[in-house]
Amino acid sequence: MKKLLLGNEAVARGAFEAGVKVATAYPGTPSTEITENLAKYDEIYSEWSPNEKVALEVAIGASVAGARSICSMKHVGLNVAADPLFTVSYTGVNGGLVIMVADDPGMHSSQNEQDSRFYALSAKIPMLEPADSSECKEYVKQAFDISEEFDCPVFVRLGTRVAHSRSLVEIEEGKGINLKEYSKDVNKYVMMPGMARKRHEVVVKRIEELESFSSQTSLNKIEWGSKDIGVITSGISYQYAKEAFGNVSYLKLGMVYPLPDELIRKFAEGVKKLYIIEELEPFIENHVKKLGIDVSGKDLLPVTGEYSTRLIKEKLFGHKTDGATQEDIPVRPPVMCPGCPHRGVFYVLRKLKLVVTGDIGCYTLGALPPSSAIDTSICMGASIGMAHGMEKARGREFSKRTVAVIGDSTFIHSGITGLIDIVYNKGNSTVIILDNSITAMTGHQANPLMGYTIKGEVTKQVDLVKLADAIGINRVRIVDPFDIKNVEKVVREEITADEPSLIIARRPCALLKGVKYKGALMINQEKCKICRMCMSIGCPAIVDKGDHIEVDEALCIGCELCTKVCSFNAFEKVGE
């Protein structure tokens, strides 16, 4: 039976069919749906881990204990998991271990466009790269076999367009879960210098064996067409190349590390002109050039952004596509949703003109106009360390005008250690946790603050107040972000207090199921003085029509934040 599946769903299906027992992840676009779908299989244990490092460690533990396990993350998540990553390459596995990593060329929902193939190279871990959903499923199954055959973890790399495109997948039976024996083996699993030196030799030998495997496996294959042109490509770039070049010869790489030298030489000898089509860095190209083969690639194509059929045709064949530009069309950047609880906090922070170190989540949108309230955003957890660093650089007076803002899930992910640093190293920073009771940006995943697991089972909740107390914070305040008067009062008090403080701004995400407001508001045009105070909260449902202000009834959910900034009581419920 064929089904139309997202690349990420197909990965989950592949893992199921391969007999996976344990699946771990921290949510991150474009990888999130892998684990969301794995959680639907009753026989698979799956979890949202607090961060990618923990997720990978859990998966390694499961593998050493004998189970096939899979750990999924976005490209920047792999930075967080890099510590266990490099050493699990040395220990190898017991049950197969597959690490899914999803890159985001074009940065649809990311802060950088790093190329994770370099992790494969530097950790000497083989990497596969599927080009559609069918291959997603197939490659994941093969990755488990390779992992157990060569005793190493195996990467499967996706890009946004493979992870988030649907295509047809043949559904097969699962092979069932089969635990391997566990036996203690300190020379393999305890990486002290004496053992690690020996294991490093094993890794070097293993990668040589994988190199010859790469030239033999059907993952890498030549499709002969016209021999005037040959194209070496992989992943989504293969699809674009097929449409742009048509009937030429292709070397489609399903295994992008280690690369198949023998096969590449054979292919290069068979064609007159050779192109390499790969998004981001010249990973394949550099390798092919090192083999002494003349190729064209990044001399014509960019190392930034996404590719497309059109881009290849333009850059390689000089095709011009119709550039008829229409009149100046307003851009439509993403915005905080109507009813978003973050809006109240950002309204206050902007009003107080504070320096705000920001973090990664929906609330990063607070950096955009009209909130324009955030000064920095680097990575998960950075808001807290950066606020501390700013104080140490510019002194206490500066830190009285500085706050860090971080989401609840991001705080658990990597904010706690930053907060400990502030206390331990005698800082005075004020940290605001925007607690909307969910991991919102990635589409509502559970986290350790919420009291239920990925499968919806009830579990314990982290108590932020007790946590703050335990690490030595005396000043903890809880506010409702829509009570903006109180938020302002509390922020003023905490930034001037000469010790660290934690403000928890607590109100659930407006998109959560249980969250109900009373329905749309409208503006009583007789009461409205067109002072535009309500425009300053940046709600997409409030529209400036020039001669009057209007509420878009289709967008407004009735959170009533606007009523708190209006001095004329002009907002009224529709139908009253």
Partner 1 sequence: MDRGLNILIVGVGGQGTLLASRILGSVATDLNYDVKVSEVHGMSQRGGSVVTYVRLGESVFSPLIEKGEADIIIAFELLEAYRWLDHLKEGGKFIINKQRIDPMPVIMGKQEYPAEILEKLDALNIDVIPVDALDIAKNCGNIKAVNTVLIGVLAKLTGIEKKVWIDSLNDNIKKAFVDLNLKAFECGYSL
The one-letter code for the residue type at 10 is A
Nearer to partner 1 by C-beta: 76 or 490? 76
Judge whether 63 and 179 are in contact, CB under 8 Å: no
Does 166 bind partner 1 (CB under 8 A)? Our answer is yes
How near is the Cβ of 363 to partner 1 at its closest, in Å?
A: 11
Compute the distance between CA of residue 26 and CA of residue 270 in angstroms, rounded to an integer: 45
Does 40 bind partner 1 (CB under 8 A)? Our answer is no
Does 167 bind partner 1 (CB under 8 A)? Our answer is yes
Nearer to partner 1 by C-beta: 184 or 320? 320
What x-and-dash track marks residues 89-128 binding partner 1 by CB under 8 A? -------------------xx-------------------
Does 239 bind partner 1 (CB under 8 A)? Our answer is yes
The one-letter code for the residue type at 41 is Y
Q: Which of 318, 333, 456, 514 binds partner 1 (CB under 8 A)?
A: 333
Q: Which of 181, 183, 318, 329 binds partner 1 (CB under 8 A)?
A: 329
Site for partner 1 in 18-37 (CB under 8 A): 29-30, 32-33
Compute the distance between CA of residue 100 and CA of residue 94 in angstroms, rounded to an integer: 18
Judge whether 382 and 400 are in contact, CB under 8 Å: no
Does 328 bind partner 1 (CB under 8 A)? Our answer is yes
Judge whether 7 and 130 are in contact, CB under 8 Å: yes
Q: Which of 327, 457, 498, 576 binds partner 1 (CB under 8 A)?
A: 327
Hey, how many other C-beta atoms are within 10 angstroms of the C-beta on 561? Answer: 23
Q: Which of 42, 184, 194, 324 binds partner 1 (CB under 8 A)?
A: 324
Compute the distance between CA of residue 23 and CA of residue 11 in angstroms, rounded to an integer: 12
Does 161 bind partner 1 (CB under 8 A)? Our answer is yes
Compute the distance between CA of residue 122 and CA of residue 560 in angstroms, rounded to an integer: 53
Sort 296 into a burial class: Cβ within 10 Å, 0-12 / 13-18 / 19+: middle
How near is the Cβ of 225 to partner 1 at its closest, in Å?
A: 14
Does 309 bind partner 1 (CB under 8 A)? Our answer is yes
How near is the Cβ of 74 to partner 1 at its closest, in Å?
A: 10
What x-and-dash track marks residues 254-293 binding partner 1 by CB under 8 A? ----------------------------------------
Does 514 bind partner 1 (CB under 8 A)? Our answer is no
Strand partners, 69: 22, 97
What x-and-dash track marks residues 348-387 binding partner 1 by CB under 8 A? --------------x--x--xxx-----------------
Stretch of 89-97, 151-159, 161-169, 276-284 lying at the interface with partner 1 (CB under 8 A): 161-169
Does 51 bind partner 1 (CB under 8 A)? Our answer is no
Q: For the chain, give the longest Cα–Cα distance.
A: 82
How near is the Cβ of 134 to partner 1 at its closest, in Å?
A: 11
Stretch of 37-45, 175-183, 261-269, 441-449 lying at the interface with partner 1 (CB under 8 A): 441-449
| Residue 96, SS3 per DSSP | coil
Does 164 bind partner 1 (CB under 8 A)? Our answer is yes
Strand partners, 45: 22
Strand positions, DSSP E, 50-106: 69-74, 97-103
What x-and-dash track marks residues 515-554 binding partner 1 by CB under 8 A? --------------------x--x-x-xxx-x-----x-x
Specify the pairing of strand 255-257 against strand 127-128.
antiparallel
Judge whether 28 and 36 are in contact, CB under 8 Å: no
What is the sign of the dihedral through the CA atoms of 369, 374, 375 and 376?
negative
How near is the Cβ of 160 to partner 1 at its closest, in Å?
A: 8
Hey, how many other C-beta atoms are within 10 angstroms of the C-beta on 553? Answer: 12
How near is the Cβ of 110 to partner 1 at its closest, in Å?
A: 8
How near is the Cβ of 369 to partner 1 at its closest, in Å?
A: 6
Does 310 bind partner 1 (CB under 8 A)? Our answer is yes
DSSP 320: P
What x-and-dash track marks residues 193-232 binding partner 1 by CB under 8 A? ----------------------------------------
Half-sphere exposure of 40 (CA within 13 A, CB side): 9
Does 240 bind partner 1 (CB under 8 A)? Our answer is yes
Tokens of 232: 């070496």
Tokens of 438: 């969910």
Judge whether 373 and 367 are in contact, CB under 8 Å: yes
Backbone dihedral region for residue 157 (phi beyond 0: left; psi -120 to 50: alpha; all else: beta):
beta
| Residue 3, SS3 per DSSP | strand
Nearer to partner 1 by C-beta: 82 or 535? 535
| Residue 246, SS3 per DSSP | coil
Q: Say if residue 258 is preceded by a cis peptide, omega within 30 of 0.
A: yes
Report the interface residues with partner 1, using CB under 8 A. Answer: 2-4, 6, 29-30, 32-33, 108-109, 132, 161, 164-168, 236, 238-240, 242-243, 308-310, 321-322, 324, 326-337, 362, 365, 368-370, 441-443, 535, 538, 540, 542-544, 546, 552, 554-555
